Structure 1
Amino acid sequence: MEIKKIFNNNVALTENSDGKELVVMGKGLAFSKKIGDSIDESKIEKTFILENQTISDKLTDLLVDVPAKHFELAYKILEYARAKLSYPLDDYIYVALTDHLSFAITRHKKGIILKNALFFEIRKFYKEEFQIAKEALDIIEREIDIRFDEDEAASIALHLVNSQLTDTNIGATMQMTKMVHDILHIVKYHFLVSLDEQSVNYERFVTHLRFFALRLFKKEHNLDNQVEQFLFEQVQQKYDKAFQCSEKIMQYLQQEYQYVMSNDDKMYLTLHIQRVTNRQSLQEH
């Protein structure tokens, strides 16, 4: 393996036998080396394969401007996250999280503390990602002796959620979070109730809304009229108030996101609304 670029004594860019670029990490593997020199492969502790050339270019450009230590930190956090999450992480998250952490560390050293406007929503709707991000705060503290507050955990959690939205940015994830929040408010005000956030039905509803929002932002619309018309009409008649609520949500989505709900969307949304707002159902679960 020949060195193509040196980021610091411990991090360098090379390529494998297939011609794919790699970021390799290991104590002192690039010390006193120059471009074109061979890497002592016994010193390589971690390898990051850059499958996508665009991501490779962005990462190498980024590592020119930010300390490679910050990439190592992002790498450790994401390896932990990969082991915990049930879904894969897009490779671009290595670029996005490195950039985010580097900026956050710089701000912290300057005494600039920013609050996450969606902190409570993120903690509520993305519990798994938030718990992983809280562990990330411990990793950061162990590695660089900086302790961030939980607002930073919320920001890291957003990056994990955003990794499911290929070819989008963190702004889309924030919009997705806001959408879930807004739909829950529509339900609360339509029924004039406080939802039991500790109930299984609430968890199911939020999970449904998250995947619904994910599909919307990935532009994966359901095909209309897949559900049987008879079944659709039965749900509409039996759960009239919940169906009216789903109609309000449909109007909100059309106005804010130009999204037209399918009959599938309406039926499943109505069923979830009925379940989460029905006291007897809550008691049974």
Structure 2
Amino acid sequence: MEIKQILNNNVLLATDEAEQEVVVMGRGLAFKKKPGDAVDAAKIEKTFILEDAGVANKLAELMEDVSEVYLDLSYKILELAKSHLTYKLDDYLYIALTDHLSFAITRHKNGIDLKNPLLWEIRRYYKQEFQIALKALEIVEEETGVRLEEDEAASIALHLVNSQLSGESMGAAVQVTEMVNTILTIVKYYFKIELDEESINYDRFLTHLRFFAIRFIRKEKQDEMYDNFLYEQIQQKYAKAFGCTERIAAYIANHYNWEISNDEKVYLTIHIHRVTYRQTKSEEN
């Protein structure tokens, strides 16, 4: 194995016997070494292959400002994720997660813990990723002594979910976009309003719709938690939003041959009410 680029004293990029780019980690691995030298195999602690050639340069740039401690954490978390998830994780996750952990842990040490507004959706719809992310918080605590809030588990899970979509074909990405755009259009025409795209409720709704579309693309079956009382309450309390949900359900059934569950109707209705309530209330007044 030959050194291609030294990232810091303990991390370097190398090429293996198959001419693949690999990231190699180990204490003092790059000490007094230069590109072209052989890697000291006795000092190697971790090795991972980068299939995406563009990731190596971005990783090198990131390591100029971020400690390898966070790359090591990302490595351990992603190895855990790979052992539980059936889909392939994108190489860019090493960069995104390393950068996120560095920022999150630094913020926490400075007494700043941000709330994740998508915690509810992520925990509800991406149970496996969220459970992995909760274990990731344990890894972070074991390695750094820092216990991050559950909101950070949601952020880590979201990184896994985003990687999941990046592995799809361009056609799948287009289909997700088309479905989301059409549903937003249905909502706008049904309520005869323009949605406030700067609002947090719009962001929540958009994320919910994106997750909704990804589940369709992947043919994922949602666990049915159907509560008849809650369903009827939502139907009565948010009658107009529920009517819009029924319009969306009809569109999905006609165009995609996919029947939306009652649970999904409940969540869609709540999101539609949130994203339209202020504007419709203002117009009524």
Counterpart of 2:259 in 1: which secondary structure? helix
Deviations 1:48-99 (A, max 9, x none): 1111112222222212221122111101000011101122212111111111
The residue aligned with 1:130 is 130
The residue aligned with 2:258 is 268
Deviation, 1:3, is 2.0
Write the mapping of 1:167-246 to structure 2, written as runs, cut at 5 A: 212-214=212-214
Deviations 1:179-212 (A, max 9, x none): 8xx99xx9xxxxxxxxxxxxxxxxxxxxxx8875
The residue aligned with 1:93 is 93
The residue aligned with 1:206 is none
Write the mapping of 1:71-90 to structure 2, written as runs, cut at 5 A: 71-90=71-90
Please give the alpha-carbon distance, in whole angstroms, between the structure 2 residues aligned to 1:253 and 1:276.
Answer: 8
Counterpart of 1:163 in 2: which secondary structure? helix
Counterpart of 1:107 in 2: which secondary structure? helix
The residue aligned with 1:195 is none
Q: Does 1:51 align with 2:51?
A: yes
Task: Please say if residues 14 and 22 of structure 1, whose CA atoms lie closer than 8 Å, have aligned partners that are also in contact.
Answer: yes
The residue aligned with 1:283 is none
The residue aligned with 2:32 is 32
- Letter in structure 2 aligned against 1:263: N
Deviation, 1:149, is 1.1
Q: % of aligned pairs identical? A: 53
Counterpart of 1:148 in 2: which secondary structure? coil
- Letter in structure 2 aligned against 1:164: Q
Report the CA distance shift for 1:5/1:253 in structure 2 as closer, same or farther (over 3 A): farther
The residue aligned with 1:112 is 112
Deviation, 1:250, is 7.5
Deviations 1:202-249 (A, max 9, x none): xxxxxxx88751177x8x9xxxxxxxxxxxxxxxxxxxx9xxx99844
- Letter in structure 2 aligned against 1:269: E
Greater mean deviation of Cα atoms: 121-130 or 25-34: 25-34
TM-score by length of 1: 0.63
Task: Please say if residues 8 and 63 of structure 2, whose CA atoms lie closer than 8 Å, have aligned partners that are also in contact.
Answer: no
Report the CA distance shift for 1:253/1:81 in structure 2 as closer, same or farther (over 3 A): same
Q: Tell me the number of residue pairs that the alignment of Structure 1 and Structure 2 aligns.
A: 213
Task: Please say if residues 250 and 261 of structure 1, whose CA atoms lie closer than 8 Å, have aligned partners that are also in contact.
Answer: no
Deviation, 1:44, is 1.7
Unaligned runs of 5+ in 1: 187-208, 221-240, 255-259, 278-285
Deviation, 1:148, is 0.4
Task: Please say if residues 245 and 265 of structure 2, whose CA atoms lie closer than 8 Å, have aligned partners that are also in contact.
Answer: no
Deviation, 1:102, is 1.2
The residue aligned with 1:166 is 166
Unaligned runs of 5+ in 2: 188-208, 219-234, 236-240, 267-285
Report the CA distance shift for 1:253/1:269 in structure 2 as closer, same or farther (over 3 A): closer
Task: Please say if residues 24 and 44 of structure 1, whose CA atoms lie closer than 8 Å, have aligned partners that are also in contact.
Answer: yes
TM-score by length of 2: 0.63
Please give the alpha-carbon distance, in whole angstroms, between the structure 2 residues aligned to 1:210 and 1:73.
Answer: 28
Report the CA distance shift for 1:213/1:250 in structure 2 as closer, same or farther (over 3 A): farther
Please give the alpha-carbon distance, in whole angstroms, between the structure 1 residues aligned to 2:54 and 2:215.
Answer: 25
Task: Please say if residues 246 and 269 of structure 1, whose CA atoms lie closer than 8 Å, have aligned partners that are also in contact.
Answer: no
CA-atom RMSD, angstroms? 3.8
- Letter in structure 1 aligned against 2:55: I
Report the CA distance shift for 1:274/1:96 in structure 2 as closer, same or farther (over 3 A): closer
